[in-house]
Amino acid sequence: MKAAELVVKILEKEGITDAFGIPGAGINPVYRFLKDAGIRHCCMRHEEACVHAADGYFKASNRIALAICTSGPGATNFVTGIYSANIDSVPVLAITGQANSWQLGQEAFQCVDIAKICEPVAKKTYCVKNAADIPEVFREAFFLMRSGRPGAVLVDLPLDVQQAELDYDPNGYEPAAVERPAPPDADIERALDMLDAAKSPLILMGGGAILAGGEAELVALAEYLRIPVIMTFMAKGGMPSGHPLNAGHAGIQVGQPLGNRVFLDSDLVLGVGCRFSDRHTGDLKVYRGERRFIHVDVSEGQFGRIFPADLNILSDARLAAEALLAGAKRRGMRPVNPERADSIAGLREKLRRRTDFAGRPMPPHRVFHEINRGFDSDTIFTSGCGITQIWSGQLQDIDRPRRYIPSGGAGTLGFEIPGAFGAKVACPDSTVCAVVGDFGFTFMGEELAVASALGRPIIVIIVNNAYLGLIVQNQVVGYGFEYEVGMPQNQDGRIDYLKVAEGYGCAAERVFGPDELAAAIGRAKSSGRTYVIEAICDPKQFCDMGAGLDSCRSFAPDE
């Protein structure tokens, strides 16, 4: 059989059911066999969006999707998406076409060493120069995507390799088994000793806990020992927002006053599946303080990357949580600090950021107030980067895992809309909403055409503040100047996002006040169409942030 046919057969054997791609001359041999395969293909409008859609698809469903495109600039457009997925530990299979293998290094048309280019930002890259290597390359690629810390893998396929004839029976292909590492018993016992000795411990639930499907076990551990839980941005929704032990987020950007206070009042942090990244920790001297840390992670490479923990446990997050809970019950451990646990719900209300501001134009906080009221807990939200993402992380209430899908480690403007489309393909019965700034809407906004054309309706809410909001805040607060960040034309009629949306086959409307926004959300949900709501907001509103957990500054409106 043709090697290209074998590739498609292997994809089916590995469970791929959906692909996001753009066909081209460099990859058409594979497309020839995709045509009749049991893999649904969505033709995107930009190659970067193919990877973002596959990223959103996995984050919503825990299923791997294929991103596929041609060689040259098509392949290089994959780089940002691969970086964004990989740093968020998302397994995406990226396949790129390539010139003939004998043309490599000759500067042939649309011939670029994409495997080398993506090497620093992917978990693994391959350029297959011998068709006989295809089965083992793909077996290893899928194994690497699924094992340890998940990640994105790129396979580059030269044209002559795709078209080579192979004597291989695809029925003999078997996916590689993936084993999840269990925690060493001695480490679990030591962790339990540390928890037992602590006066004010907390559990830090990271995105790795969600990836492992271990959020329920962590919540059960927290409930048994009455320990407050803080979620990183990537774990938003891992514990229902109204749970008595939910202490929100800690951090210098998407952190919340409750989370920062509970964190600073703690003496022991049990971090599960987290990276201790800079936007979470802020000033490390403040973050570390005198408190002790237990770090549970499936990747040994995460240990000590930011600072050394007092105890590292190499383990799958769910298996570690199960072992800790079983050990605590076996020991008959009692709640560590029940009075502190009892105070969380009251503190949450006392320290909650206000969102019910009135006025026209609306403070952005009010947009999120109406989003919280207007959508149910099954709604999937995407966010990309900038001040809109920060407001979203601070102000949105999410009650379920895999319902909040950000571009986390990369902070990629343009992720929002294709990520939402990918989530909608994965979860067609769920409402999917992309929340994006007016500047961010211009990145990958063309993917509205895909959602519209393929009948996969998503809702897009534009928080239009007519500014590069986070950048003007950085300029003004950090450096005392403002330059090239204002976009008044986004509100004064010179730029019309409604026409853009309508041109892509969407319904669209512009709103100026809370009542209009609430009504528009209702119309969008019931329309059955891809729907864009442009919410005109106060251009000069900054977001709360600071350099350390103890120095976050509030910029909330006075009224």
As given in the structure block, the two tokens for residue 392 are 């979203």
Are 447 and 49 in contact by the 8 Å Cβ rule? The answer is: yes
pLDDT, averaged across the chain: 97
Res 534: pLDDT: 98
Are 16 and 61 in contact by the 8 Å Cβ rule? The answer is: no
Q: Do 100 and 60 reside in the same domain of the chain?
A: yes
Residues 74-85: b if buried by 16+ CB within 10 A, e if exposed: bbbbbbbbbbbb
Residue 137's identity, in one-letter code, is: V
Element of type H or E holding 188? helix 185-197
**pTM, whole model, 2 decimals?**
0.97
How many C-beta neighbours within 10 Å does residue 530 have? Answer: 31
Closest-CA residue to 286 (of 547, 548, 545): 548
Domain with 129, as residue range(s), is 3-172
The residues of the chain scoring below 70 in pLDDT are 559
Q: Do 153 and 217 reside in the same domain of the chain?
A: no
Q: Do 383 and 458 reside in the same domain of the chain?
A: yes
- The total number of residues written for the chain in this structure: 559
Would you say residue 114 lies in a domain?
A: yes
Are 287 and 549 in contact by the 8 Å Cβ rule? The answer is: yes
Would you say residue 291 lies in a domain?
A: yes
Res 559: pLDDT: 67
Would you say residue 523 lies in a domain?
A: yes
Number of domains in the chain: 3
Res 325: pLDDT: 98
As given in the structure block, the two tokens for residue 439 are 């500047």
Cα–Cα dist 254/252, whole Å: 6
Cα–Cα dist 175/140, whole Å: 9
Are 70 and 24 in contact by the 8 Å Cβ rule? The answer is: yes
Q: Do 381 and 403 reside in the same domain of the chain?
A: yes
**For position 189, which CATH number holds?**
3.40.50.1220
Cα–Cα dist 82/479, whole Å: 33
Q: If phi over 0 gives left and psi between -120 and 50 gives alpha, with beta otherwise, what is residue 179?
A: beta
> Which residue reads 């950090």 in tokens?
478
Would you say residue 417 lies in a domain?
A: yes
> Which residue reads 């892509």 in tokens?
504
Q: Do 168 and 208 reside in the same domain of the chain?
A: no
Q: Do 385 and 333 reside in the same domain of the chain?
A: no
**For position 418, which CATH number holds?**
3.40.50.970
Would you say residue 297 lies in a domain?
A: yes
Residue 308's identity, in one-letter code, is: P
Are 430 and 378 in contact by the 8 Å Cβ rule? The answer is: yes
Q: Do 369 and 323 reside in the same domain of the chain?
A: no
Element of type H or E holding 96? strand 93-98
Cα–Cα dist 335/227, whole Å: 8
Q: Going by C-beta distance under 8 Å and a sequence separation of 6 or more, which residues neighbour residue 25? A: 70, 97
Q: Do 71 and 132 reside in the same domain of the chain?
A: yes
Residue 334's identity, in one-letter code, is: R
How many C-beta neighbours within 10 Å does residue 513 have? Answer: 16
Cα–Cα dist 156/119, whole Å: 12
Backbone φ, ψ for residue 228 (5° rounding): -60, 150
How many C-beta neighbours within 10 Å does residue 159 have? Answer: 20
Q: Do 378 and 519 reside in the same domain of the chain?
A: yes
Backbone φ, ψ for residue 503 (5° rounding): -65, -25
As given in the structure block, the two tokens for residue 416 are 């929002």
Backbone φ, ψ for residue 205 (5° rounding): -90, 120
Cα–Cα dist 404/406, whole Å: 6
Q: Do 108 and 234 reside in the same domain of the chain?
A: no
Helix ranges restricted to H, 384-438: 387-395, 416-426
375-412 tens-digit pLDDT: 999 999 999 999 999 999 999 999 999 999 999 999 99
As given in the structure block, the two tokens for residue 110 are 């649309």
Would you say residue 105 lies in a domain?
A: yes
Backbone φ, ψ for residue 314 (5° rounding): -80, 110
Res 257: pLDDT: 97
Out of 290, 324, 351, a domain closes at: 351
Out of 172, 196, 222, a domain closes at: 172
Res 558: pLDDT: 78
Q: Do 466 and 393 reside in the same domain of the chain?
A: yes
Res 23: pLDDT: 98
Would you say residue 399 lies in a domain?
A: yes
Q: Do 476 and 521 reside in the same domain of the chain?
A: yes
Cα–Cα dist 530/160, whole Å: 41
Strand order in 432-437's β-sheet?
A: 404-406, 380-383, 432-437, 459-464, 531-536, 507-511
- Most distant pair of Cα atoms in the chain: their distance: 73
Would you say residue 358 lies in a domain?
A: no
Out of 172, 200, 215, a domain closes at: 172
DSSP 227: -
Cα–Cα dist 23/35, whole Å: 11
Res 406: pLDDT: 97
